A and B are shown apart, each in its own frame.
Chain A
Amino acid sequence: MSTLEFFLAGTFSAATIFLLAALGELVAEKSGVLNLSVEGMMAVSAAIGFLVTYETGNHLLGFAVAGVAGVLISLVFALTTITFLANQVASGLAVGILGLGLSALIGRDYESLTIPSTDGIQIPVLSEIPLIGPVLFQQNLVVYMTFLLAIIIGYTLKHTRLGLAIRSTGENPHAAQALGFPVFLIRYGCVAFGGLLAGFAGAYASTIYTPLWADGMIAGRGWIAVALVVFGTWKTGRIAFGALLFGMVSLGELIAQSMGASIPSQLLSSLPYIVTIVVLAIISTDKARMRLHSPFSLGETFDGTEGR
């Protein structure tokens, strides 16, 4: 595999972690709930997903259990913010920190263990094409599923009744309730869906992308996913583009170094974060447009009473 092939192929697999988690966060935010516990949910799911896959050798089971774990943690968050009306930012941070601690506890006896890595799918004929083959047609199944999921979520949010219900809940829960949408149920569902995808992202990180468990291995990727949602101005296409960009930047840094580029590696390491800040700053300069894209009631608690 040449350096270029590795770079392009690796971009997709690196982007998958970001994209999975960001899609889940997108759905939660579209319903008006800002869940900052993505990093913690991913960590717990990564630990549990690894544990299950390690013990059973079954990747599918690992993914399933990790998804359930993500849902359970997100429900803790949903319960405090949606039912008990706690502040979303504070609760999200608290649940996230809880998740990080919990993941260390769960993974304690599995620290630094590894599982055999899985091969990508070889799509016949197409995977033989030079350059394009290894980049596009030899990826892991999860990579394809994730990008497919991005399309499905994008379509659902924009063109279906369910999407309308979610969006109106996020824009104005009072109006949504008046229209007869079950606001609480929708928000619970969206947060749980976010937990499910964060769980899958964690399992992907610990069983496929880097098939080992080490405490702290999520290493900030959950936060990048949260930033990606804003980066992509709550639009799936842009989020997918952002995820690829982040994957590219995080790999490009390593490749630039291996090729002897004389850019300080510390600067390169901080590039993904610098890009986030710059893009956020650019997007935010146009306040009107920012407000147009951001779910209007994002981060606000809703107690089910009429009007405001």
Chain B
Amino acid sequence: MGLFDRHAQLLDFYRGVQASGADPIGVTMERVLSPTEAIINGKRTLLVGTNNYFGLTFDPACIEAAVEATKAEGTGTTGSRILNGSYTDHTDLERELADFYGMKHCMVFTTGYQANLGLISTLVGEGDYLIIDADSHASIYDACKQTQATIIRFKHNDPASLEARLRRLDKEKGNKLVVVEGIYSMLGDTAPLKEFVAVTKRHGAYIMVDEAHSLGALGEHGRGLVEEVGVLDEVDFVVGTFSKTLGAIGGFAVSNHDGFDVLRLATRAYMFTASLPPSIVASVRAALRVVRARPELKTKLWANVATLYDGLAAAGFTLGPQHGPVVAVQLPDLPTAIALWRALLDEGVYVNIAGLQATPGGVPLMRCSLSAAHSKAQLEQVVDTFVRLGTSFGLLKPLKRAAVG
């Protein structure tokens, strides 16, 4: 058996996708024009699948900060913080993030994936318990493989399911860490976090909240679901990413626990990779200032969410359970999803197809993500295109007369 043979089935599967005329993984943005438009296949295309929630990738202040930092400090750090040391900008960013959350400690990682992978796998070890939501992101599942802790899964967004599992572990001595997400990346649904925190505390466990998709989008100051539901001072760890609302790349974790900094000596995903380059740190710091200074971006984002979600719902599409910066259109099967995805792209609308990898319940999705930078006209165009194609694909469920759009 050759090295690549174990993936033969996967390759066959993907060749089947390509044979149907679509190549979702092969999309090349020939030129990115703005947070909402790019040239794809030579055609001006609306971007509705890039997690660019505040549209800050082209924010003049963020760009300027990145350019200045590159000129002043160079293109990269060429090493890890434990060997090459930290730049002042790294420690400034950590201080600013800790301050943003009102927490004592912050660690910055080179990607959000590494933040979850490193932190979760280092916090719990042999004899401990890691209790995760069934619909957790791949970075959380991958962390499970890197720890000796015992892994237990609970039903997605179900506090009773979590409580049953914690109760069964009540007599166990090890530490218990519960991991949930603020907004789930596939269906855009929000965790019942207040309930999760209460259950967790009742059973003496720790709780970590991944705010990757909720930073900026939720909470009066954009701190995420922890702020929105008022549990910021009750959660043990908040992790997040710089690659969505903050428009760059990188990850972070904040905590009030004394002793948190020992993780810098123990977290391999932090220790054995190069630190973020000056340009990224600078643009993230600038983006964080934008989040603080311009709450109207959050308002605009949610107005855009309403335009897309309500427009698609009124037309009879089956969507995720609630408004969210991610709006997911549920489709009956993968071939339909692939064909619709391709047709949308041909019509100049880029969204994500979810279903080639795992999705909740195995339901294929057209995953749309909104941006404050989208105009209402752009989103109306997206709705129109979806409705036109959805009609020709026979995807729209008949609406009851009483139903409100």
A in complex with B: no
Chain B residues with a Cβ under 8 A of chain A: none
Chain A residues with a Cβ under 8 A of chain B: none
